[in-house]
């Protein structure tokens, strides 16, 4: 059975809602999933997963520091060929390419396209939640 880890952080829970829905989508597609906040996750454990999914909100045109640090540390692990995916909530302009680019270009991961971005105002809708579950299924499809 393929497995995935979702590592994310959040301040006002919008990115957490996304993580929960992506988790549901992955599980519905038969993937075993572990979900952790960045401060509780260790880069070493990533080697045990087929897919690594990172979630981060945008604050002050930037990633939040816990995710930046986790991403920087990820270089210590061989992630080449693993499936990667990126998501996050934002207000007006997300900066999630800063996560996507090193995953693809430095770590050599097989990325799910496009990045899943949801505006904070969208997340209360069933449609946005469904998109997140579909994103989970898309990650699962790339694992096959
Ligand atoms: C102090 C502050 C700064 C923010 N800065 C940005 C920003 O630079 N760009 C942007 O698109 N959204 C910005 N936002 C909006 C957040 O990205 C948005 O509320 C998002 O849903 C937060 O995700 P979270 O609930 O997972 O923390 C900011 C929000 C706050 C409160």
Domains of the chain, first to last: 3-142 (3.40.50.360)
Judge whether 136 and 24 are in contact, CB under 8 Å.
Answer: yes
Judge whether 98 and 65 are in contact, CB under 8 Å.
Answer: no
Judge whether 30 and 135 are in contact, CB under 8 Å.
Answer: no
Four-CA torsion 40, 101, 27, 16, nearest 10 degrees: 50
Contacting residues for 78 by C-beta, under 8 A, at least 6 apart? 47
Compute the distance between CA of residue 70 and CA of residue 66 in angstroms, rounded to an integer: 6
Task: Describe the crossing of helices 126-142 and 14-28 by its angle, rounded to 10 degrees.
Answer: 50
58 burial class (0-12, 13-18, 19+ CB within 10 angstroms)?
A: buried
Ligand 1 centre to CA of 91 (Å) is 5
Report the pLDDT value the prediction gives residue 15, as an integer from 0 to 100: 96
Ordered per-residue pLDDT tens for the chain, 144 residues: 999 999 999 999 999 999 999 999 999 999 999 999 999 999 999 999 999 999 999 999 999 999 999 999 999 999 999 999 999 999 999 999 999 999 999 999 999 999 999 999 877 789 999 999 999 999 999 998
Report the pLDDT value the prediction gives residue 74, as an integer from 0 to 100: 97
Q: Which atom of ligand 1 is nearest to the CA of 10?
A: 26
> Cβ < 6 Å from ligand 1: which residues?
10-15, 57-61, 89-94, 120
Report the pLDDT value the prediction gives residue 124, as an integer from 0 to 100: 74
CA quadruple 40, 69, 55, 47: dihedral sign:
negative
């Amino acid at each position: 059975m393929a497995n995935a880890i979702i590592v994310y952080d959040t301040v006002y829970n919008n990115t957490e809602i996304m993580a929960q829905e992506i988790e549901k989508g992955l599980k519905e597609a038969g993937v075993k999933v572990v979900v952790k906040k960045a401060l509780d996750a260790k880069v070493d454990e990533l080697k045990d997963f087929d897919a690594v999914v990172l979630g981060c909100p945008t604050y002050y045109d930037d990633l939040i520091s816990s995710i930046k640090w986790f991403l920087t540390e990820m270089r210590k692990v061989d992630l080449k060929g693993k499936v990667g995916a990126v998501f996050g909530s934002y207000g007006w302009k997300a900066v999630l390419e800063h996560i996507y680019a090193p995953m693809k270009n430095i770590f050599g991961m097989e990325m799910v396209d496009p990045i899943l971005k949801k505006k904070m105002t969208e997340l209360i809708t069933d449609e946005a939640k469904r998109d997140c579950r579909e994103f989970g299924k898309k990650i699962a499809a790339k694992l096959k």
